[in-house]
Chain A
Amino acid sequence: MTTMAILTDVTRCIGCEECVSACRRTNDTGSDAPYRWQGGVNDLSSTRWTTLVETGNRNVRLHCRHCLDPACAAACPVGALSRTEAGAVAYNPVICMGCRYCMVACPFAMTRYEWESATPRVRKCILCYDKIKAGELSQPACTAACPTEATIFGDREALLAEARSRIAAAPQRYIDHIWGEHEVGGTSVLTISDVDLTDARWPDDLGTGSRPELARKVLHTVPYTFFGVAGLMYGVHWTLERRRQVAAAEGPTAATADPGDEVQRNEEES
């Protein structure tokens, strides 16, 4: 199955926030309430899965970027977060144990939490994958709602081609960069813009390496480490035990000649 994606053209956004309303309606997120733990009134929150931030006099849409190799899914110890075949990073609250490691791991800090609840859930854009899968929607609510087609839904490869052709058609208008094409191994949310998006959660130092790889490299050494250490320890134990037995068999005079025991005895005396 092809990876579906969203392409947002910042230059076309008029800041009407129809995407925000549509998301709220469709996903039934409830109305916003002011809480201490939110980044600000316009920041993402557990009831606001997408939002607009202003950067360089432009409105830039923020929401989960659906990484191709999502750090949140790799972080989750129970598999509550997972990437669907279509490319959406989905969340299953039933099995979530609430460790919030996904929030720590997200390179873009897009996940939000229901801090006010005694049974809190992780909240974020899920690309309307449930509604699309059930056939209720043909595309996410936000892209369907956009009056200027500033944000569109489609096959990732096709959207990349579209983005490239837009930039090629008006090189003086756009910055020659597709945010999300390579960052952190690629995301399913692509953005083209005429202003720099560093302040819209696209930091300069993201790099193109996928985040889960960082830990995978270490995790793959786990069995070797365990058996290596265990083997080494048994080896040391066996050697020292054997030496002690030999020393005992050879009698007390030979034992004093053992340099290891000598050191130990000296230490004890001091």
Chain B
Amino acid sequence: MNEANNTRLIVTKAVLWFLIGIAAAVAVARYLRGLGATTALTDGTPWGLWIGFDVLSGVALAAGGFVIAATVHIFHLDRYHGLVRPAVLTAFLGYLAVALGLLVDLGRPWNIWRMIVFWQPDSPLFEVGWCVMLYLTVLALEFVPVLFEGLKWERALRVMRRVSLVLVIAGIGLSTLHQSSLGTLFLLAKDRLHPLWYSPILPLLFFVSAIGLGLMMVAVESSTTAWLYHRHGEWPVLRGLVRAASVVLLLYLAVRLTDLGLRHQLHLLVQPSWYSVLFALELAMSVVIPLVLFNLPSLSDKHWPVVVGAFTGVAGFVLHRADVGGIVHLAAGGETYLPALTEILVSVGLVSGMALIFLFFVERFPVWEEAPANPDHFTPPISDPLTHNYFGGVWFGRAHLAAAGWVIGIVVGMVVLETTTTGGKYPPAVPTRSARTVAAVRLVVDESMPASLLFLGNEIAPAQFPEGFTTALLIDGDRAGRAVLFDHTAHRDRLGGEASCNLCHHRNLRFERGTPCATCHADMYRCTDTFIHDDHITALGNNASCGRCHPATEAVKNRASATPCVECHRAEISQAFAEGRHQCSTDAAVGDIACSGCHGVSAASDPEERADRSEIAGIAPGYRLAMHQLCVECHCAHESKKAIEEPVMTRCGFCHRGVESEIEVVPDDGIGGRPVVVAEGFFQ
């Protein structure tokens, strides 16, 4: 096969460059915008794909290096000799990917050197870091003979050959430590990892699986490059590898299941859940399918089972590492992690980069026993100002294709970024305005009921008020663009005139520049007791007012002996029932609207029934729950976790609305020549 016309290879390289382009764009954005904008990580799930794939899988995939080195140099199984150099190169690139992946994932990567200076022997990550550094060095030294051979530096080559055994043994020792210490890493995450994955023998599981994975990875790498370069695959050798892998996989399966059994977690497997499905998928891919494909006698004379089995097995163990690394982490709030597209793209780009470096070395240095012919698609583009031929050479099938792929990749990466990373940024600014005076009309339908306010059009200067109209404050209620009509005058009068200003106008609260209604009406927003004693004291006139609710001076002043709410709030309560806003307005026990039926505030009702009732309602857990009849309990639970852009039903403005923030004034509506917008809500 003529290497120059190897379309397969050229297109593959172009695709790899394309993927690198995407990753490069995302990586730049990660450093400029931070991790929040470019990942799906949260406070609850702080580790994700960049740990699970780039680091954990990168190391595990590199296990082929030390396993093959041990096979050949220690156990003297010389027929695997041809695999040593590609395996060591793969391992070196795997560790390089780990180092690069860490630089992307670390929040403050410029401090990584401190790990070398400030020793923290209690930290598993400290051990991991040191192993990466040392083993990367060892791998580099194990691989340099290939470079020296290619460059024909005989002297250096002889020196390296002399220390090769020391390097191999050091490499095996370091790998044993390192593969297992990645499992040790998660021993500390006992309260974070799902029990199907957490185990005190995680170090052992990681080590055993790394050997199986390493063997299969060598098969994957060898068969892929055989396809790419139209080489004859090293099939007999690969078959020996996957047979060895089968033994390791069986051992892994046995240890994993025994461990689950000893920890009494096997029952979790049969409970249908996202985690049991994930576990089954992982085990099927990493162990069961490869075992079957490698060992079925009827498949023993075919090559595809080796390839498919090795690929599936590698994917399965990568899934295992990604699971432990982030996907099966349980956040306190119950939220789960799934990688964002941007994270996946960076990881894929990293692998692509390593693949290209691999191809670079096998084409230029004696990595394989039989090196491929130097392909001529490295020819740089010809640019000739005399003939105005700036894009010389064959357009497709040469380096142009790779360059084009890279540039397109960067563009695609930028497009992807713009459409996916907004989740981490501040929500888009909603043009909210400060509270402003508007005209309103006070509707009094029935003297016994509180008045409703009706909003009249947009802002109107006080001087222009028509006769009989009043003013109210229009407040932008929430970020969904809803506004609330706030009866400022009534609030001021009720709370004590000018002296009461500081009750509202002194706080600076979370998410709001002004003071939200819920600050005072805390019972509406939060699931607390409806009745706020302190507020009643203030409103009714401090100590002098005790008698208003506790008329019997000699009795103990408590909830049971106090005047029922309905004595004073008859109007509000009857209106709530009349409008069907109370949760159980049809219940017979509340027919007399004396809250005692359910809320146990009166000693008068039958004690047995009261106990029964209070189990249902207790003390009303909040105005919102008591008054609003719609599924509030569920909303309360769900909305605390909602992204802030979404409408939050527990915000005042969601229900007390009917007033859009930005309303065009529509002239000639029929009321005093003023535009009107009908307010649906109940504003008081």
Contacts and interface: CB of A to CB of B under 8 A. Distances in A.
Interface of A: 15, 31-45, 48, 54, 57, 59, 71, 74-79, 95-101, 103-109, 111-121, 201, 203, 206, 211-212, 214-216, 218-219, 222, 225-227, 229-230, 233-234, 236-237, 240-241, 244, 264, 267-268
Given A75-B124, A96-B108, A215 B188 contact: yes
Nearest to B239: A270
Given A109-B43, A268-B79, 13 more contacts: A36-B643, A75-B123, A77-B129, A95-B111, A101-B123, A103-B43, A115-B424, A218-B184, A222-B177, A233-B168, A237-B76, A237-B169, A267-B240
Contacts of B122: 74, 212, 215-216, 219
B47 A100 contact: yes
Contacts of A211: 188, 190-191
Interface in B107-165: 107-109, 111-112, 114-115, 118, 120-129, 165
Max count, chain B CB within 10 A of own CB: residue among A34, A108, A244: A34
A206 B203 CA distance: 22
B174 A77 contact: no
Interface stretch (B67-75, B220-228, B245-253, B290-298): B67-75
B528 A219 contact: no
B527 A54 contact: yes
A212 B31 CA distance: 32
B123 A74 contact: yes
B536 to A, nearest CB: 15
Contacts of B70: 233
20 contacts: A37-B43, A40-B333, A57-B621, A75-B123, A76-B125, A97-B107, A97-B108, A103-B46, A105-B188, A108-B332, A109-B43, A113-B107, A214-B188, A215-B122, A218-B180, A225-B173, A227-B173, A230-B170, A234-B169, A237-B165
Nearest to A243: B76
A101 B168 CA distance: 31
A215 to B, nearest CB: 5
A54 B527 CA distance: 8
A219 B190 contact: no
Nearest to B35: A115
A92 to B, nearest CB: 11
B77 interface: yes
Contacts of B192: 104-105, 109
Given A96-B108, A98-B111, A225-B176, A233 B125 contact: no
B494 interface: no
A95 B116 CA distance: 12
Interface string B310-334: 0000000000000000000101110
A34 B642 CA distance: 10
Nearest to A207: B190
A120 B177 CA distance: 31
A43 B511 CA distance: 13
B529 interface: yes
A145 B100 CA distance: 47
Contact of B106 (A76, A98, A229, A236): A98
B75 A37 contact: no
Given A107-B191, A118-B33, A211-B190, A96 B125 contact: no
B426 interface: yes
B643 A39 contact: no
Nearest to B642: A40
A51 B469 CA distance: 44
Given A78-B120, A120-B34, A98 B107 contact: yes
Contacts, number: 248
A264 B188 contact: no
Contacts of A117: 34, 36
B172 interface: yes
A71 B663 CA distance: 55
Contacts of A240: 74-76
Interface in B492-516: 508, 510-511
Nearest to A97: B111
Contacts of A214: 187-188, 190, 200
Given A104-B188, A237-B74, A36 B46 contact: no
B189 interface: yes
A79 B121 contact: no
10 tightest A-B CB contacts, nearest first: A98-B107, A115-B36, A34-B644, A40-B640, A37-B42, A98-B108, A97-B111, A103-B46, A77-B126, A105-B188
Nearest to B128: A77
Contacts of A225: 173, 176-177, 180
Interface residues of B, number: 87
B32 interface: yes
Max count, chain A CB within 10 A of own CB: residue among B41, B70, B108: B108
B580 interface: no
B466 interface: no
B123 A57 contact: no
Contacts of A234: 169
Given A98-B108, A103-B43, A236-B75, A226 B174 contact: yes
Contacts of B114: 78, 95, 97
Contacts of B191: 106-109, 203, 206, 211
A71 B191 CA distance: 11
Contacts of B79: 264, 267-268
A121 B497 CA distance: 46
Contacts of B203: 218
A230 B169 contact: yes
A34 B34 contact: no
A7 B109 CA distance: 38
Contacts of B174: 226
Given A75-B123, A218-B184, A226 B41 contact: no
Contacts of B36: 35-37, 115-117
A73 to B, nearest CB: 8
Given A78-B118, A99-B125, A109-B331, A218 B187 contact: yes
Nearest to A267: B240
B37 interface: yes
A233 B173 contact: yes
A32 B424 contact: no
Contacts of A57: 527-529, 618-619, 621
Interface string B553-579: 000000000000000000000000000
Max count, chain A CB within 10 A of own CB: residue among B111, B185, B522, B529: B111
Contacts of A264: 77, 79
B74 A76 contact: no
B179 to A, nearest CB: 11
B82 to A, nearest CB: 13
A75 B188 contact: yes
Contacts of B510: 31-32, 41, 48
A113 B43 contact: yes
Nearest to B113: A97
B339 interface: no
A104 B47 contact: yes
Nearest to A218: B184
Contact of A74 (B172, B177, B188): B188
A264 to B, nearest CB: 7
B526 interface: yes
Interface string B191-204: 11000000010010
Contacts of B126: 77-78
Contacts of A119: 107-108
Given A57-B621, A78-B111, A267-B240, A219 B329 contact: no
Contacts of A206: 191
A119 to B, nearest CB: 6
B261 interface: no
B172 A233 contact: yes
B187 A33 contact: no
Given A77-B123, A78-B114, A15 B528 contact: yes
A43 B621 CA distance: 21
B548 interface: no
A85 to B, nearest CB: 18
Contacts of A41: 510-511, 640, 644
